Amino acid sequence: MNTPAAVRTTHRTPTLTTPQSIWLVAERELGAKLRSKAFLISTAILVIGALAAVIWLGFTASSSGATPVAATPGVVSQLEGAPGFEVTEVADRAEAEELVSSGEVDAAVVSDDTSPTGVTVVAESEAPSSLVAALSVSPTVDLLDPQGESEEGMRYILGIIFGLVFMMAAMTFGTPITQSVIEEKQTRVVEILISAIPARVLLAGKVLGNTILAIGQILLLIAVAVIGMIVTGQTEFLRGLGAPMVWFAVFFLFGFILLAAMFAAAGSLVSRQEDSGPTLTPLIYITMIPYFLVIFFGDNPLVMGILSYVPFSAAVAMPIRLFFNEAGWWEPLLSLVVLLASCVVVIILGAKIYENSLLRMGARVKLKDALKS
């Protein structure tokens, strides 16, 4: 009778697939960030700032409303064609003075045969300058660009909003990526990580985790801005800003992926936080330059057109051009293709630098050495 052979059982640790490994690293980045008080406080400050800006815009828009004035029948026709006035018709001067005294109107305009102009302005303490100017005799003025001044101011405001959000988000999430990579090298934790997962997977997880946080913060700011505009009655402005905000979020997503790969690659070149200055400085300039270029050259069609196709400034310049209907329907699509192609190139180069420099300790690794196989 044959004796059954002993069965030997072995327990193997399950091997993670590449997507699982990437998500594991991304979860680690997400957890570290969400537990950071500095990140939570900075996010709260950004939300409060966005809400305050929306309320301020609504207040300035409402404060520029019509001036309430009273007018006798013979004067009503003169004010009906003048913009910026809410005219209440009264029977005589006595009724007009009563409305001024009660505060229902800011001033009143009544017929007066003794006045050289045929009318008299009645006010409590000071006549509204806009009303006096409307009743004054002035030359005819033809404006070739009646919206020029207001458009220039709106360009400046949009440049600040889009540029500042892009720059702050890139700095908030980009710089910590560099610091995290350097810390892992300095504490030798990276040697343990690399023994478990490839360097490219580690890079992809870091980029993914921080990209999720960055785009989540942008979507939160957009939601706050939309809700604030609806509550404050700025629906007309919101309709014009809707498409540019969507395109800003799309361009920001891929623009940040590009920057995140560069920040991670920059961190792999050094082994100490004290040596990170020379590697971080060019990236800081790259995130700041689009903001200042759009602020200073926002009214220059040629410069704005060029900036719309530069990967680092497309997220700021293209939404502004779309808001003012200066870009064709195909331009944001073409700009997005350029941005995607740039992302592929930069990610490939960044991964090569990251992989070749991650385990090199000591002095700062030169860029040309990091690019060598």
**Residue 145 in this model has a pLDDT that exceeds 80:** no
**Residue 6 pLDDT > 70:** no
Q: CA–CA separation, 178 vs 172, rounded Å? A: 11
pLDDT tier at 100, thresholds 50, 70, 90 = confident
78 alpha carbon, distance to own chain's centre: 45
Per-residue model confidence as pLDDT tens digits over 224-251: 888 888 887 777 777 778 888 889 989 9
Question: Which residues, in sequence order, are bridge partners of residue 88?
Answer: 70
* Element at 107 (helix H, strand E): strand 107-111
- pLDDT at residue number 151: 65
Mean pLDDT, to the nearest integer, of 90-100?
Answer: 84
What average pLDDT does this structure show over 11-22? 74
Q: Is the pTM of this model over 0.85?
A: no
Rounded to 5°, the CA angle 44-50-51 comes to: 90
Q: In angstroms, rounded to a whole number, what is the distance separating the alpha carbons of residues 339 and 335?
A: 6
Give pLDDT tens digits for 256-284. Answer: 999 999 999 998 888 888 888 888 888 88
Greater confidence (372 vs 311) lies with 311
Q: What is the DSSP pairing of strand 85-89 with strand 107-111?
A: unpaired
Q: Would you say residue 137 has pLDDT above 80?
A: no
Q: What's residue 106's pLDDT?
A: 81
| Residue 63, pLDDT score | 55
* Neighbour tally for 127: CB within 10 Å: 17
Q: How high is the mean pLDDT of the chain?
A: 81
Averaged pLDDT, 204-222: 90
Mean per-residue pLDDT for 46-73?
A: 75
| CA dist 98 → 71, 85, 87, 111 (Å) | 12, 19, 15, 16
Q: Given a cut of 70, is residue 161 above it in pLDDT?
A: yes
- Residues 89-112 as b or e (16 or more Cβ within 10 Å = b): ebeebebbbebbeeeebbbbbbeb
The reported pLDDT for the residue numbered 1 is: 47
Q: For residue 61, is pLDDT > 80?
A: no
Q: Please name the residue that has the structure tokens 């300095």.
A: 186
**pLDDT band with cut points at 50, 70 and 90 for residue 7:** very low
Distance CA 161, CA 177 (A): 24
Tell me the CA distances in angstroms from 141 to 79, 95, 152, 262, one per residue in order. 18, 35, 21, 55
Is 90 exceeded by the pLDDT of residue 122?
no
Q: Inform me whether the pLDDT recorded for 9 exceeds 80.
A: no
Distance of CA 179 to the CA centre of its chain: 24
Q: Which residue has the higher pLDDT, 341 or 108?
A: 341
Would you say 320 and 158 are in contact if contact means Cβ atoms under 8 Å apart? yes
Q: Cβ(295)–Cβ(159) under 8 Å?
A: yes
The alpha helices in 103-147, defined as continuous H runs, are 129-135
| Least confident piece of the model among 49-53, 215-219, 324-328 | 49-53
Answer yes or no: are the C-beta atoms of 198 and 286 closer than 8 Å: no
**pLDDT of residue 90 exceeding 60:** yes
Q: Exposure string (b/e) for 13-51, b if CB count within 10 Å is 16 or more?
A: eeeeeeeebbbebbebbbeebeeeeebeeebeebbeebb
C-alpha distances out from residue 195 to 77, 154, 192, 352, Å: 86, 54, 5, 18
Output the pLDDT for position 279.
87
Distance CA 191, CA 201 (A): 14
Place of tokens 């329907």: 329
Which sequence spans correspond to the domains of the chain?
A: 20-55+149-370, 68-127
Give the DSSP letter string of 26-69: HHHHHHHHHT-HHHHHHHHHHHHHHHHHHHHHHHHHHHT-PEEE
Region 177-192: what's the mean pLDDT? 87
User: Which ranges of the chain would DSSP assign to H, the alpha helix?
Assistant: 18-34, 37-63, 73-80, 93-102, 129-135, 148-186, 189-196, 199-231, 235-268, 277-296, 301-307, 314-323, 331-357, 367-370
- Look at residue 234 in the predicted model and tell me its pLDDT: 78
Which range has the worst mean pLDDT, 57-66, 118-127, 225-234, 348-357? 57-66
**8 Å CB contact between 124 and 101:** yes
CA-angle at 163, arms to 223 and 254, nearest 5°: 70
Bridge partners, residue 119, by sequence: 111
Give the orientation angle of helix 18-34 with respect to helix 37-63, to 10 degrees: 70
